[in-house]
Structure 1
Amino acid sequence: MVKAGDFASKEAGLTLLEVVAALVLLGVFFSHVLPAFTQLAAFQGQVAAETEAHLLAWGKLEELVAGAERSREGRFPAPWDHYSWRYRVERPADRLVSHTLNLRWRGFLGEREVTVSRLEAE
């Protein structure tokens, strides 16, 4: 039979010191884990922006090579108006044409740039 005083023994429950120590350990753990999640979210946003930049750059380069776009530089329409581009054509050798497009934008880590190019024979 269980007596009423048995639950008040020293072995039941946690002491205040143990609770404080557990909270300190949890605080130390979360202070190292939460910044990692923040960095992961920022990295994921950066990867998404770079993927979008590559797709926009390749699409614009194809427009320029096909003759659908005549400008040498410009900005994309909304919602991509934070991207600007510059196009150049070079002839590195006889019967070779190099098409290069530089795309710039302001990202999480400052000014970013992607360059895509295409080499073709005339």
Structure 2
Amino acid sequence: MDLKFYYAYGGIHPVIGPVFYASAAALPDQADSQRYDLYVCSVLMAIAQIPSSCERIINAISSIEDGIESSIVEGGNDVLLYMDATGVQVDIQVNDDWIGQPQGRFTLKEWRKVLEQWKRLLEMPEDSQEVLMLSLP
């Protein structure tokens, strides 16, 4: 699965000027692109608006991988990540059809890579034209 991370131009705000939004998307025409768009890309801004939020969730993943914690629940803004040694279950609370679904299940390794790339994007200037790519197995 190939994902791209970028800043999308959101127009001109009358007070603050140009507005850019941190964005992620699965490249189209891939077998699971809709699943990754919904359960990964669309939830990133809800759970990790700043680099330290990414780091907090990455540290939670490390705690599980190292056997320090058996399970951790992270999230925010109507999105919960249920993490344990078997992986990450993403539940989007605004729709009952998006809770507990097998399509919302991912490996710890996948989420670590996604969050590392998302953090890199959030550390870049918002007006950057750079697109970061990530290939997941």
Query: TM-score, length-normalised on structure 2?
Result: 0.28
Query: Which has a greater percent of helix?
Result: 1
Pick 1 or 2: higher relative contact order, CA cutoff 8 A, min separation 6: 2
Query: Which has a greater percent of strand?
Result: 2
Larger Rg: 1
